[in-house]
Amino acid sequence: MNGSSTLVDNAGASQSRRVFWDQDVYQLELERIFSRCWLMLGHDSLVPKPGDFITTYMAEDRVILSRQSDGSLKAFINSCTHRGNQICHADSGSAKAFVCNYHGWVFGQDGSLVDVPMEERCYHSDLDKSKLGLAPIRVETYKGFIFGCHDPEAPSLEDYLGDFCWYLDTIWGGPEGGMELLGPPLKSTLACNWKVPTENFVGDGYHVGWTHAAALQMIGGELAGLSGNRADMPFDDLGLQFTMRHGHGFGVIDNAATAIHVKRDGYVNYLEETRGEIREKFGPERERLYVGHWNASIFPNCSFLYGTNTFKIWHPRGPHEIEVWTYTMVPKNADTETKRSIQREAIRSFGTAGTLESDDGENMSSATYSNNGIITRKGRMNSSMGKDREGPHPVYPGIVGVSFIGETSYRGFYRFWQEMLDAPDWAAIRANDDTWDAMWTNRNFWPDRLSAKQAEPQD
Ligand code: FES
Ligand SMILES: [Fe+2]
């Protein structure tokens, strides 16, 4: 498949339905996105001690992430260099070595080949073990979150996250200790394209009051007012939406971080107690984010909700299926009972059988499978909401949309998705660094809006 320029129309804010269905689009995604971007592997909290490991996926490649004896991290492909067998079948554990159960080759914690049964008799000194280690993967961490990347030319993780670091610092680097992940992950499969949940989490504030109308009424709290898209909803003052250079993005609903926490204790108190520290450390703009509820995606396939604190990796399994891995993200220095109560609420809402998760799953499958029709597949999908009511903001980095209910971060996600598919290498992507946001032509939107607001009479 050559290029993707007809798949995404940035100016017209539309995408071809083939992005959810075609096998050749998926193959190109594997080569140009999943082989070149930083992908979420886990968190320090999942591999705390030397020898600890977890197994995970980078797209469909099986991967081992292992804590070394010097405390550093290494990741490598979980497939034997002898005849390709999967080396480690456990989800997690602690191991001095990984032994292949086919013929018994032994790989060290660092992935090097350290022992071969009957080596001398079988290979007569002909086997160069130093060249037969498990294929290594670049590993870098940001605030304890561990990412892997196959491409040596990719930017550093911090540069890849780019402006998103400014936002992530608020929560991942927030109160001393930041956040950690509680595992092991819940795992389930869902019959949908991997981008449907990613785009939903990156910026779909629109579906919340409709898809989740019944669940929101039942949960009550701050979000109950969204249920059924009530006419008196304060649309533009509900929050904001953001997109960044490398397709990451999120939406925030103001003052709603703990909306799903029916019991108004542990986490609610924790946020109240720590918000002053955030204000001091990061200023009032980020304090606003700290007490807001976020729906976010880190390009390409990791999403989380801050406040609800579910944390997802959408592992693709072909174009029409994903394996959903669900962790809970908790403040590291909260007490154990608060952490457990956050986990309970996260699983109740966004675990495999969660009230809100099940609402979403049906739509995600349907939005994928309706494209199996040959005529349907030739059509396009629209993401124009909030177009021109967005732009560079004097305080918040990236491009900022005026409402939590908008499609700014959808457009930003697909803008970069197309750029990745079209670019032959990272050098070509870097060449666009100064012009990536040229499609947002309303440069004065925020300056004009903010000065108009300032001029409004105060009561
Ligand atoms: S396939 Fe692993 S030792 Fe032969
Ligand atoms: Fe949803």
Q: How many CA atoms lie within 13 A of 277 on its CB side?
A: 14
Residue 43 placed within a domain: yes
ω into 457 cis (within 30 of 0) = no
Do 134 and 181 sit in the same domain of this protein? no
Residue 26 placed within a domain: no
Other CB atoms within a 10 A radius of the CB of residue 430 amount to 13
Render pLDDT for 209-249 as a digit per residue (tens, 0 to 9).
Answer: 999 999 888 888 777 878 888 777 767 778 999 999 999 99
Do 117 and 239 sit in the same domain of this protein? no
Distance, in Å, from the CA atom of 405 to the CA atom of 237, rounded to the nearest integer, reads 10
Distance, in Å, from the CA atom of 143 to the CA atom of 135, rounded to the nearest integer, reads 26
Identify the pLDDT of residue 459: 55
123 CB near ligand 1 (under 6 Å): no
257 to 147, 226, 262, 264: CA distances (angstroms) = 26, 15, 12, 12
The number of the ligand 1 atom at minimal distance from the alpha carbon of 80 is 2
Contact 112, 104 (CB under 8 A): no
CATH code of 64's domain: 2.102.10.10
Contact 396, 284 (CB under 8 A): no
Do 182 and 114 sit in the same domain of this protein? no
- Secondary structure (DSSP) of 391-450: EE-SSS-SEEES-SSS-HHHHHHHHHHHHHHH-SSHHHHHTTTTTTTTT---TTHHHHHH
Do 298 and 441 sit in the same domain of this protein? yes
Q: Which of 80, 88, 127 is the pocket-test mutation for ligand 1 (most atoms within 8 Å of CB)?
A: 80
Question: Rounded to the nearest whole angstrom, what is the distance from the C-alpha of residue 17 to the centroid of ligand 2?
Answer: 21
96 CB near ligand 1 (under 6 Å): no
Instruction: Provide the 3-class DSSP secondary structure of residue 298.
Output: strand
Q: Using CA of residue 438, residue 444, residue 450, residue 452, what is the dihedral sign?
A: negative
Do 221 and 347 sit in the same domain of this protein? yes
Contact 441, 418 (CB under 8 A): no
Instruction: Provide the 3-class DSSP secondary structure of residue 77.
Output: strand
Identify the pLDDT of residue 223: 78
Distance, in Å, from the CA atom of 169 to the CA atom of 243, rounded to the nearest integer, reads 16
Question: Rounded to the nearest whole angstrom, what is the distance from the C-alpha of residue 127 to the centroid of ligand 1?
Answer: 14
Do 195 and 96 sit in the same domain of this protein? no
- Ligand at shortest distance from the CA of 81: 1
Distance, in Å, from the CA atom of 254 to the CA atom of 404, rounded to the nearest integer, reads 9
Render pLDDT for 342-378 as a digit per residue (tens, 0 to 9).
Answer: 999 999 999 999 999 999 999 999 999 999 999 999 9
The number of the ligand 1 atom at minimal distance from the alpha carbon of 100 is 2
**In this structure, which residue's CA is closest to atom 3 in ligand 1?**
103
Do 289 and 368 sit in the same domain of this protein? yes
The alpha carbon of 113 is separated from its chain's Cα centroid by a whole number of angstroms, namely 33
- Ligand at shortest distance from the CA of 86: 1
Question: Rounded to the nearest whole angstrom, what is the distance from the C-alpha of residue 319 to the centroid of ligand 2?
Answer: 21
Token pair for residue 376? 């349907």
Task: State which amino acid sits at residue 69.
Answer: S
Question: Rounded to the nearest whole angstrom, what is the distance from the C-alpha of residue 99 to the centroid of ligand 1?
Answer: 9
Residue 333 placed within a domain: yes
103 CB near ligand 1 (under 6 Å): yes
- Ligand at shortest distance from the CA of 83: 1
Question: Rounded to the nearest whole angstrom, what is the distance from the C-alpha of residue 60 to the centroid of ligand 1?
Answer: 20
Residue 96 placed within a domain: yes
Residue 125 placed within a domain: yes
**In this structure, which residue's CA is closest to atom 1 in ligand 1?**
83
102 CB near ligand 1 (under 6 Å): yes
Do 382 and 271 sit in the same domain of this protein? yes
Q: How many domains does the chain have?
A: 2
Distance, in Å, from the CA atom of 278 to the CA atom of 334, rounded to the nearest integer, reads 15
Tokens 């490598």 sit at which residue?
76
Contact 65, 56 (CB under 8 A): yes
The number of the ligand 1 atom at minimal distance from the alpha carbon of 104 is 3
Distance, in Å, from the CA atom of 364 to the CA atom of 357, rounded to the nearest integer, reads 10
CATH code of 409's domain: 3.90.380.10
Identify the pLDDT of residue 136: 98
80 CB near ligand 1 (under 6 Å): yes
Do 229 and 312 sit in the same domain of this protein? yes
Q: Which of 76, 78, 83 is the pocket-test mutation for ligand 1 (most atoms within 8 Å of CB)?
A: 83
Identify the pLDDT of residue 2: 42
Distance, in Å, from the CA atom of 55 to the CA atom of 53, rounded to the nearest integer, reads 7
11-24 in b/e burial notation, b at 16+ Cβ within 10 A?
Answer: eebbbbbbbbbbee
Which active-site residues does the annotation give? 103, 204, 207, 212, 360
Which of 91, 107, 142 is where one domain is finished?
A: 142
Identify the pLDDT of residue 4: 54
Do 220 and 334 sit in the same domain of this protein? yes
* Burial (CB count within 10 angstroms: exposed 0-12, middle 13-18, buried 19+), residue 106: middle
Which of 111, 142, 173 is where one domain is finished?
A: 142
Distance, in Å, from the CA atom of 390 to the CA atom of 402, rounded to the nearest integer, reads 6
Do 226 and 297 sit in the same domain of this protein? yes
Residue 31 placed within a domain: no
98 CB near ligand 1 (under 6 Å): no
Residue 286 placed within a domain: yes
Distance, in Å, from the CA atom of 158 to the CA atom of 170, rounded to the nearest integer, reads 15
83 CB near ligand 1 (under 6 Å): yes
Question: Rounded to the nearest whole angstrom, what is the distance from the C-alpha of residue 348 to the centroid of ligand 1?
Answer: 42
| pLDDT tens track, the chain, 459 positions | 444 568 999 999 999 999 999 999 999 999 999 999 999 999 999 999 999 999 999 999 999 999 999 999 999 999 999 999 999 999 999 999 999 999 999 999 999 999 999 999 999 999 999 999 999 999 999 999 999 999 999 999 999 999 999 999 999 998 888 999 999 999 999 999 999 999 999 999 999 999 999 988 888 877 787 888 877 776 777 899 999 999 999 999 999 998 888 777 789 999 999 999 999 999 999 999 999 999 999 999 999 999 999 999 999 999 999 999 999 999 999 999 999 999 999 999 999 999 999 999 999 999 999 999 999 999 999 999 999 899 999 999 999 999 999 999 999 999 999 999 999 999 999 999 999 999 999 999 999 999 998 887 765
Question: Rounded to the nearest whole angstrom, what is the distance from the C-alpha of residue 212 to the centroid of ligand 2?
Answer: 7
Tokens 């709603």 sit at which residue?
256
Q: Using CA of residue 426, residue 430, residue 432, residue 436, what is the dihedral sign?
A: positive
- Which residues span the domain enclosing 94? 39-142
117 CB near ligand 1 (under 6 Å): no
Tokens 């660092």 sit at which residue?
110
